[in-house]
Amino acid sequence: MTRKFKILNTLDFTLCPKALDVFDGVGEVKTLPWCYDTVRSEIHMYDAYLASTSVVLDADMLSAAKRLLVVGSPATGTDHLDLATMKKMNITCFDISREHSLIESFTATSELAFGLLLSINRQLVEASQSTRQGLWERERFTGFQLSGKTFGCLGLGRLGTISSKIAQGFGMRVIAHDIDKTKTSEGVGNVSLEELFRSSDVVSIHVHLNDSTRGMVNANLIKMMKENAILINTSRGAIVDETALLTALREKNIAGAGLDIINGEWADTIGEHPLIAYSRDHGNLLITPHIGGATIESITDARVFMANKVANFLKNAATEN
């Protein structure tokens, strides 16, 4: 008799409900809310886990996951997953960071980087709020023109390259720094890390979070930035020294920052995060809730892909057993 698996899911398949049909005949799928304690209390009963980035799969949770064979996360980042512990437990983990045929078409995060940039630079949130109050304060909300300014790209991988091309479309001069010195992009000047922060009017972060990039954007680099410069981070919060960033914003050492992520985004007390608290009363910081990849196209394609990947893994596991 073919083995039937139990699959735990915390992903939202509202945009692609038929994606879960791939588990018909493979096993039973149960969907839980984004609650660490709830997932922790039930994961011991499951063979597979479709993992949302909103729930951290850490060593403690994995200690309860005695049956777990495979984890599938339709994200390019893996900081919500304890990969080292999974490796020790012989749990297979799938993400999409190296699924190049899939993610090459995903431009959403780079597009959002420029949405954040334009919103901060042109004070779009405040201008809209003012207009809703019946005011027409045209000259109150000024910013600088992007054309002719210098766009500094930290990381020249897939998203860095896409972002560089968008910047060039705005008529910006583009410079970049990447750990891999062989990475190039047409019309982009390669510079040192220090030069990137000293010379750029906009610094946009497009590197993966790992041991070499954690805390990479430190206080010294932030101090090198121009007073009228804007920092954009759509990568991961832990890449930036957030205390140093907050100091720079408070003291107006830089013009502003647009963040799609912050360090500790999974915490129940996220509303008390110092950056969020500051942003409530200061227009030079705009934070969005990790929506960089949240477009219909990228959500649907990534989740359908991952459901198929995990289903195929389980089908093979059933055959082997």
Q: How far apart are CA 7 and CA 314, in angstroms?
A: 10
Q: Could you tell me if 164 and 176 are in contact, meaning their C-beta atoms sit under 8 angstroms apart?
A: yes
Instruction: Choose the catalytic residue: 40, 242, 265, 273.
Output: 265
Q: How far apart are CA 104 and CA 161, in angstroms?
A: 11
Is 282 annotated in the active site? no
Q: Which amino acid is at 82?
A: D
Instruction: Choose the catalytic residue: 40, 158, 177, 290.
Output: 290
Q: Which two tokens stand for residue 241?
A: 């020294």
Q: HEC profile for 143-186?
A: CCCCCCCEEEEECCCHHHHHHHHHHHHCCCEEEEECCCCCCCCC
Instruction: Choose the catalytic residue: 236, 242, 273, 303.
Output: 236
Is 290 annotated in the active site? yes
What angle do the packed helices 158-169 and 108-121 form, to 10 degrees? Answer: 50
Is 100 annotated in the active site? no
Q: How far apart are CA 224 and CA 229, in angstroms?
A: 10
- Give burial (CB, 10 Å; 0-12/13-18/19+) of 280: exposed
Q: Which amino acid is at 47?
A: D
Which residues have a catalytic role annotated? Answer: 236, 265, 290
